[in-house]
Amino acid sequence: MPNPRPPLAGLPPLLLLRAFEAAARTSSFTAAARELNLTQAAVSYQVRALEEHLGFALFERKPRGVRLTAMGVAYLAPVRKAFDDLAISTVGLFGARARVHLLVQAPVSFAALWLAPRLPTFFAGHPNIEVRLSSTIWDTAAPDDATDLEVRYGDGRFQGYVAERLLNQDLVVACSPALLARASAPGDLASVDLAALVRHQMIHIMGHETHWLGALDTLRIGDIDAIPGPTVDTTVAALELAASDAGCVLTHPLFLEAYLRTGRLVLPSSQTFADPQSFYVVAPDRPQRTRREVRVFLDWVKGEAGVGAAAFVGVGPADPGC
């Protein structure tokens, strides 16, 4: 009986493609052999068979390892994507047999106030993926190979990383209801003079001094040093101080959700202040194929941030990705 579904014309055997992908990722037939539990000769034979099937050389053989040819580089991207798509579809249809984990790093305020409240929805949709969330105050300069993804705040120029802009928001002033009441005309909370309110007391966040400088320039307020107020090293601490009636805080609305909902903080004005910097999701720039669970989490966090399915691309020094 004839086969109703003949093999796809030109499609190489999967074993040959697997050997090619492993050898390309490790730049070594020997390392690929260890990964695939084969001999070095077997990997070399399979790669040679693939090259004969395609009619092109995919590797340059060197005394110490191998290097992709131009055709090898061009072929590697679609092969990797095909493997990734197949893995995602398989897990989506049949589930994963084992739990996997990924390490995500984020600034402490972003982790506590934006990411953590949303993580339960990710856990519910992907019970086999364990997210290990690590919070930081200051970014590390050198890429950490143990970290799968990071959220960073800045202009997008992160040496040694690939980055994609996740969120950009204008800044707003927030304060306690008591402070707003004292600064307003009796019975008229809408009458507040934002410039006068800010002059009363201002909470500073180390590393974000330019936020207040830009806002004060917009409000036509003079010397920032003439305005009293405490200085802290995290947005979480600044928000808690503001909620405790210690002054005004200038921050991103994404950090205010719970504070506004519970009434611990209020917005005395609808005025906003542009922020040229953004939150980025970044990963170390490395040749290894991105793990399936990392791609799944990346797509999820972009969806939560309202970002479209743009490619996860490298950001050069002259292009901050804005």
Tell whether 270 is covered by a domain: no
Q: Return the DSSP state at 6.
A: P
Which of 59, 94, 129 represents a domain boundary (last residue)? 94
Structural domain that includes position 217:
172-262
170 DSSP β-pair partners: none
Tell whether 178 is covered by a domain: yes
Are 223 and 151 in contact by the 8 Å Cβ rule? The answer is no
298: tokens are 């990346």
Pair 140, 157 in one domain:
yes
Structure confidence at residue 121 (pLDDT): 93
**Percentages of the chain per state (helix, strand, coil), in multiples of 5:** 45, 20, 35
CATH value at residue 201: 3.40.190.10
Q: Identify the top-confidence range among 8-22, 43-57, 83-97.
A: 43-57
248 DSSP β-pair partners: 202
Tell whether 139 is covered by a domain: yes
Instruction: Check residues 138 and 113 and name the one with the higher pLDDT.
Output: 113
Pair 210, 152 in one domain:
no
Pair 230, 292 in one domain:
no
Tell whether 272 is covered by a domain: no
pLDDT digits (tens, 9 = 90+) for 62-115: 877 788 999 998 998 888 888 877 877 776 676 655 678 888 999 999 999 999
pLDDT digits (tens, 9 = 90+) for 270-311: 999 999 999 999 887 766 667 788 888 999 999 999 854 333
Query: Residue 174 pLDDT more than 60?
Result: yes
CATH value at residue 37: 1.10.10.10
Confidence of residue 36 (pLDDT cuts 50, 70, 90): confident
Pair 48, 120 in one domain:
no
Tell whether 132 is covered by a domain: yes
Provide the H-helix boundaries in the chain.
14-26, 29-36, 40-54, 70-94, 108-110, 116-125, 177-183, 194-200, 209-218, 235-243, 257-262, 292-304
Instruction: Check residues 133 and 221 and name the one with the higher pLDDT.
Output: 133
Pair 75, 50 in one domain:
yes
pTM for the full model? 0.65
Structure confidence at residue 95 (pLDDT): 62
Are 129 and 269 in contact by the 8 Å Cβ rule? The answer is no
pLDDT digits (tens, 9 = 90+) for 150-168: 999 998 888 888 889 999 9
What domain count does the chain have? 3
Q: Compute φ and ψ for 88, nearest 5 degrees.
A: -65, -45
Tell whether 309 is covered by a domain: no
Which of 46, 64, 94 represents a domain boundary (last residue)? 94
Rounded Cα distance between 303 and 283, Å, is 18
Tell whether 200 is covered by a domain: yes
Which of 94, 111, 139 represents a domain boundary (last residue)? 94
